[in-house]
Amino acid sequence: MQPSKGRSSKLLKLITLSLMSTISLLLMLLDFPLPLLPGFLKVDLSDVPALFAALLFSPIAGVIVEAIKNLLHFILGSGDPIGASANFFAGLMLVLPVSMIYHRYKSVKSVVSGLVTGTIVMAVGMSVLNYFVILPAYTWMMGFELEGTKLGYITAGIIPFNVVKGILVGILFVPLFVKLKPWFEQKRVNVT
């Protein structure tokens, strides 16, 4: 008995999301610090597979990849719960605008516009989240001490870090997307 087309499509989505989550986790393990910024702020390019999943299927697919990646990273002992949560929210703030704009206009230009929008949303959103939640949680739970004020730390560290991360993800993602666009469009039609 052959599986129905609906079951086959669901299986393909599940396999693709699992693969993208695994690639995302591996990329997360290849993080690196940026010069002139605090050493514990490390850039990783793990949002690239989440972007592909979100553009191939839906924004929710990107959320699933971000969630699985951070959960696995935490379970493997490579991170702490605050850092995993921060990475998850940063990923959402980048991936969701890109995927929502792309699904509306379906062009390379919409991907670039989404990346610019997502980078701004991530920089502003993570600044607010760091001010009110993340930095207080680190100081309370982990004994982290800030040098200077929270606002100074955010303007000198968090904002530039998220802007540079968004730019680096965009520099990697856009050429890959352009190169894979014909294949990507064919697969997107086949799985929807």
Tens-place pLDDT, residues 67-125: 999 999 999 987 789 999 999 999 999 999 999 999 999 899 999 999 999 999 999 99
What does the domain layout of the chain look like in residue ranges? 5-31+40-179
Of residues 91 and 39, more confidently modeled: 91
> CA torsion angle for 128, 129, 130, 134 (degrees, to 10)?
160
Q: In this predicted structure, what is the pLDDT of residue 2?
A: 53
Mean pLDDT across 24-40: 91
In residues, how long is the chain? Answer: 192
pTM for this model (two decimals): 0.90
Q: In this predicted structure, what is the pLDDT of residue 4?
A: 64
- CATH architecture group of domain 5-31+40-179: Orthogonal Bundle (1.10)
